[in-house]
Amino acid sequence: MSTQRVHSAQHTVPVAAPAGVVYGLLADAPRWPALLAPFVHVERIDFDGAEENLRLWHLRHGQVCSALARRVLRPHQRRIEFELQDALLPGAPTSGIWSVAPDGADRCLLTLRHERTAGPWEMSEALETDVKTELTALREAAERWDRLDELLLSFEDSVYVSGSPELVYDFLYRIEDWAEVVPHVERAEVIEDQPGVQATVLHTCDPETGQTLVSEAIRLCFPAAGRIVHKETVTPDPVAAHYGEWYLEPDVTGVRVVSSHHVMLRESAVEAVLGGGALLVDARRYVRDWLGRSSTEALNLARWHAESAVRRLR
């Protein structure tokens, strides 16, 4: 006799944002790591304009989990149907519907109807808590809709390396060694319980204040693709969320190495960090300079690591 239990529920929350804005946040899944704390990375596998397949990595109770999702987007109805299969919960899919209904000019109702086959160890209360946490995060992100363009920033830095892509990747992967070679890194701690999934703690020095900043992150390493995706789980102010990627673009003579960043600012911390009267534009410049300087420093050292090895072989 089967012991599987099906958990079904419907939740509706009011959101002080236009329905179109809320639907747009739901539809733009690759941007969720900046908006929803549990999501580490979202990869769009394919998308034909209406149906898409996604691979998601997210944190559940401190553990990195991956899942495959199939979604059908219906923008005119502001409705998204989904089916989610978690790799750690085989045979326990989640299916459901997100829908957004206008409730005035700049307000709406966000509804999630979902059905899930719960594992024997899972409690309905825990599933409900996860859902409510996600709804709250979506609402909080959407209610900043009129300032999102100022709060979000994306940028990248790159260098060209006349050397081996494998050596560049090796340097970027071995982050536990950075304290010995990267000037702004004071200490680096790494745990890799799952192959290719690193939990890191970095202690870095702010060059302007001399203050030690502590950040914690999850890194997903894809050596065959020459990619390392990272999402900070503990961020220093004025950063509320930060995710990005190191990726390699090899050619016949070497490799272009890119560091990309996507940041959500914490508006309430801007003046505390930058002084009274500081604005979001000042915080954007500060974060761009600080993260850009740090990643450029690491990029240049990765180049030195790879090109020095080439010179030694000649």
Closest of 25, 22, 12, 26 to residue 112, by C-alpha: 12
- Which domains are assigned to the chain? 5-143 (3.30.530.20), 149-313 (3.30.530.20)
Which residue spans within the chain are E strands per DSSP?
5-15, 39-47, 51-60, 63-74, 79-86, 94-102, 108-118, 152-161, 185-194, 197-205, 212-222, 227-234, 239-250, 255-265
| Digitized pLDDT (tens) for each residue of the chain, 314 residues in all | 445 667 788 999 999 999 999 999 999 999 999 999 999 999 999 999 899 999 999 998 888 999 999 999 999 999 999 999 876 666 668 899 999 999 998 999 999 998 877 655 555 566 677 788 889 999 999 999 999 999 999 999 999 999 999 999 999 999 999 999 998 899 999 999 999 999 999 998 877 777 888 999 999 999 999 999 999 999 999 999 999 999 999 999 999 999 999 999 999 999 999 999 999 999 999 999 999 999 999 999 999 999 986 554 44
Q: 148, 210, 196, 199: which is closest to 18 by C-alpha?
A: 148
**Eight-state DSSP code of residue 177:** G
Is the CB of residue 170 less than 8 Å from the CB of residue 181? Answer: no
CA distances in angstroms from 90 to 66, 94, 131, listed in the order given: 11, 11, 20
Do residues 184 and 297 touch, judged by C-beta distance below 8 A? yes
